[in-house]
Amino acid sequence: MKHLNTPEEIATFISSMDTFLLDVDGVVFLGTQLIPGVVEALAHLRSLGKRIFFVTNNSLKSRTSYVEKFSAKGIHGVAKEEVFSAPYAAACYLSDIGFPKEKRVYVMGADGVVEELREQGIQACGGMDDKDLAFSGMDDLHRIQPDPSIGAVLTAFDAHINYPKLAKAHTYLQDPSVLFIATNPDVADPIGTQTFPAAGSMYQPLIKSTGRHPIIVGKPHETMLRVILAKYQLDPTRTCMVGDRLDTDVLFGQRGGCRTMAVLTGVTTESMLNQAEVAKRPDYVISSLGLMR
């Protein structure tokens, strides 16, 4: 675990890498705010010919929305192909396993998830269409029936979680051939000085009610990294995963044989790094991505 403090240490580190995989929340943004210096750092890395990919578990947004958010905040010129999100990883996963074209994915999550699935040619339902499903009494439940057109249930962060959605997902999952997939395992996300329940908490009712466990495609699951490394033929020894979490970002980088770097602008603090098992520590530590310039 090498701390990069001086401009020389930082420059040496940068020159040893070709590609940077950057987590977004806690690395580029904190909530809706850009972390100071990040725009300049990204420009600096690009001016040196480094390749940059954004790798995020955030399951609210599609990659297109990310590009728009970046641009609105002053990070211009990011291509959609440079963004890898958990919803995209879910769509890639379903494509990879040959999810049948005639089947539909029931989404408990935001429209960004539905959008990514449809872009990969996968039929999706649920999502925001089920946002306002009202529950007026137990008789409503008789309308929720098994549906043979559903081939998978995909859960993500869903700020509009409701009982009819849980009841539908539960019903579909009674068929063991229906896949159970979750975008990411993060149980709580920091927002400002507080934390709030995250995508990894939202499928817990279904685990209990069905006795089934989802396949998780986001970090630290290797799906996204495998896709990136293969697609762009990256050398993992010259690729650095930069993140603010040991349990997702650093583990994800380590599983892919990449170099790993922790920033201290998000969840992980210096003392958490020191208390972590040696095998779980990153190769590098820098206080902020904003210093990489």
Buried b (16+ CB within 10 A) or exposed e, 169-185: bbbbbeeeebbbbbbbb
Least CB distance to a copy of itself at residue 139 (A): 8
Q: 219 a known binding residue?
A: yes
Q: How many residues does the chain have?
A: 293
Determine the Cα–Cα distance for residues 271 and 290; give it in Å rounded to an integer. Answer: 21
Closest to a copy of itself by CB, 3 vs 143, is 143
| CA pseudo-torsion sign 273, 219, 199, 51 | positive
Determine the Cα–Cα distance for residues 51 and 238; give it in Å rounded to an integer. Answer: 11
Closest to a copy of itself by CB, 97 vs 191, is 191
Binding site for a copy of itself (CB under 8 A): 31-32, 135, 138-139, 141-142, 144-145, 158-163, 166-167, 170-171, 174, 187-188, 191-192, 194-198, 200-202, 204-210
| CA pseudo-torsion sign 293, 70, 196, 281 | negative
- What the block records as the tokens of 91 is 């769509």
Catalytic position from the list 23, 111, 186, 189: 23
Q: 140 a known binding residue?
A: no
Closest to a copy of itself by CB, 98 vs 192, is 192
Least CB distance to a copy of itself at residue 83 (A): 19
Q: What are phi and psi of 212, to 5 degrees?
A: -105, 160
Closest to a copy of itself by CB, 194 vs 275, is 194
Q: 25 a known binding residue?
A: yes
Least CB distance to a copy of itself at residue 221 (A): 17
Closest to a copy of itself by CB, 31 vs 148, is 31
Cis peptide before 220 (omega within 30 of 0): yes
Least CB distance to a copy of itself at residue 175 (A): 12
Amino acid at 154: L
Instruction: Decide if 23 is catalytic.
Output: yes
Q: 158 a known binding residue?
A: no
Determine the Cα–Cα distance for residues 293 and 277; give it in Å rounded to an integer. Answer: 30
Catalytic position from the list 18, 25, 130, 139: 25
Determine the Cα–Cα distance for residues 262 and 250; give it in Å rounded to an integer. Answer: 7
Least CB distance to a copy of itself at residue 188 (A): 4
Which parts are annotated binding residues for substrate?
219
The residues assigned a catalytic role are 23, 25
Binding residues for Mg(2+): 23, 25, 244
